[in-house]
Amino acid sequence: MIEKIDENLILVGTAHISQKSVDEVTKAIETVHPDVVAVELCQRRYDSITKKDQWENTPVTSLIKSNNAYYLLAQTFLSSIQRKLGKDHGVQPGSEMIEAMNQAKEYDLNVELVDRDIAVTLKRAWKKMGFIEKFRVFWEFLKSMVGFEEDELEDLDIDELMDQDLISTMMEEFGKIAPSVTKVLIHERDEYIAEKINRVRKQGKSVVAVVGAGHLQGIKKHLTNPGFSADINELEQVPKKRFSVLKLLGYLIPVLFIALIAYGFYTGGPVQSLRMFAYWFLINGIFSSLGTLIARGHPLSILTAFVAAPITSLNPAIAAGWVAGYVEAKLRTPVVKDFQQLSDLENLGDFWKNRVVRLLLVVALANVGSMIGTVIAFPYIASTFL
């Protein structure tokens, strides 16, 4: 979709897997010959397109710690869907952005990266989400992953997806699941991109801006508003840590556990306390090891999750998935070939065959299993003396 804002600004709304979008980008740049080609990319995403060795140079340790496993697993999964769709339609994901940059190079035009750093966007989204929103997003991701079927992807009509009404409807539905995420991923980026484009316009330069179709109308609304202005610095700030229910629970769990064990000792003696501890150990261990088994982790990784989960559940500074992931990485260390093959993943079966993705799954599912085990274990051990 091509939108002419004024004589010096053309917006091209694209789908990342559409040959029609590639053709429209080519046509717009060849016709207008702008001073600047603006693309909806940040430096990280630009590098991921132009530097193919990015995954190969990823330290294995970065796949294990903190929330990296969840971010990278989601990124890999979504990329695989794009690749599958792109293959079915003969277009690689991001081809329209590559074409825009190629056209700029051919005509000796300046390229402007106008999107916010993807890391900042993800951190702002995570910080602004409440506990319920995080749960909903995680649940939807799991449903999507389990229900990822090739036949469903093949039935998608790219031209239909490009329809603005359909895109708006999809965004509204996503907004019901996680309003905070929608604000950060869509509305904030609309403002950010529009402001970056505006700054180029104010220099008296003509611009062809290549943006995702889902952002087209939002950006257009801002650019056609004479009084529009956005604070780039504010939009690039990651919110400071705030009160977190999950973090509070992380510290309350060991306190509550000790209180329960102490009460069990007081009412039933050491035998009761040992019984309660045994239930805690077994329930936590079984669920975490089950998650590792689903991820098809190494037998020793499964055993590690079983032993580690009851302990790490009582320590907010470490997670069972980190320990199980470390063992998995040692026993099945991803090699360069595994990183290179990430660009070939197209279906769910491929995920479990790749050591990088399997490592991510071990970390993520061992943690999920441990959390489920903790939720189940508390009321169960409490019921032993009620």
SS3 for the chain is CEEEEECCEEEEEECCCCHHHHHHHHHHHHHHCCCEEEECCCHHHHHHHHCCCCHHHCCHHHHCCCCHHHHHHHHHHHHHHHHHHHHHCCCCCCHHHHHHHHHHHHCCCEEEECCCCHHHHHHHHHHHCCHHHHHHHHHHHHHHHHCCCHHHHHCCCHHHHCCHHHHHHHHHHHHHHCHHHHHHHHHHHHHHHHHHHHHHHCCCCCEEEEEEHHHHHHHHHHHCCCCCCCCHHHHCCCCCCCCCHHHHHHHHHHHHHHHHHHHHHHHHHHHHHHHHHHHHHHHHHHHHHHHHHHCCCCHHHHHHHHHHHHHHCCCCCCCHHHHHHHHHHHHCCCCHHHHHHHHHCCCHHHHHHCHHHHHHHHHHHHHHHHHHHHHHHHHHHHHCCC
The residue ranges of every structural domain in the chain are: 2-235, 245-383
Chain segment 146-158, per-residue pLDDT in tens: 554 444 444 444 4
Model pLDDT for residues 258-300, shown as the tens digit of each residue: 888 888 888 888 888 888 889 999 999 999 999 999 888 999 9
Higher local confidence (pLDDT), 248 or 182: 182
Top-confidence range, 21-25, 32-36, 243-247? 32-36
Highest mean pLDDT out of 235-244, 266-275, 307-316, 354-363: 307-316
Give the model confidence (pLDDT) of 166-198 as tens digits.
444 445 555 666 777 778 888 899 999 999 999
pLDDT (tens digit per residue) in 132-143: 777 777 666 665
More confident residue, 144 or 281: 281
- 67-105, pLDDT tens digit by residue? 556 556 666 655 555 555 555 545 566 778 888 888 988
Encode pLDDT of 329-375 as tens digits. 889 888 756 766 666 666 666 667 778 888 888 988 999 899 899 98
Q: What is the pLDDT of residues 51-67, one digit of tens each?
A: 655 555 566 666 666 55
Read off the pLDDT band of 110 (50, 70, 90): very high
| Confidence band of 163 (pLDDT split at 50, 70, 90) | very low
Residue 301 has what pLDDT? Answer: 95
Percent of the chain with pLDDT over 90: 23
- pLDDT above 50 (res 161): no
